Homo-oligomer: A and B are copies of this chain.
């Protein structure tokens, strides 16, 4: 059993942006030389998350619309150090993946469904984000 860890740094451009990081996670799995195991994907943030989803802008926009109705910006929040959007992003993070994922690795490849990809989902505004990728296996 082996262990390998690396990180992905990225810059987001806007609120509720899904950034497809599947290839970058796969690159780290490749470097790990681990063929069979699990890859863990963690965002060190309360205001962004990691999530599995299809890489299709229509479902990203639908998700944004529903989530913004569930956690609206046009209401008062107590946690308003950085404005209403900050509190809302904390709540969305708790509803959407909560910054941690575990995905199988099979024959050296992320084992995902045909339409599943790995995303960093920005819940706040343009920011530098860091994703930790940990591979455990053999």
**Which residues from chain A sit less than 8 Å from chain B, CB to CB?**
1-3, 5, 36-38, 40, 42-46, 51-54, 56, 58-59, 61-63, 66-67, 70-71, 77-80, 87, 90-91, 93-104, 106, 111-116, 132, 134, 136-138
Contact = CB atoms under 8 A, between A and B. Distances in A.
A128 to B, nearest CB: 12
Nearest to A44: B113
A96 B96 CA distance: 8
A100 B99 contact: no
Q: How many copies does the complex hold?
A: 3
A16 B1 CA distance: 38
Given A62-B77, A94-B96, A46 B52 contact: yes
The 7 A-B pairs of least Cβ separation, nearest first, read A44-B113, A58-B78, A58-B79, A59-B79, A1-B1, A62-B77, A59-B90
Contacts of A138: 3
A101 B104 contact: no
17 contacts: A1-B2, A3-B37, A3-B138, A5-B104, A44-B111, A46-B53, A51-B94, A53-B94, A56-B79, A59-B90, A62-B91, A63-B91, A95-B96, A96-B98, A99-B116, A100-B102, A104-B132
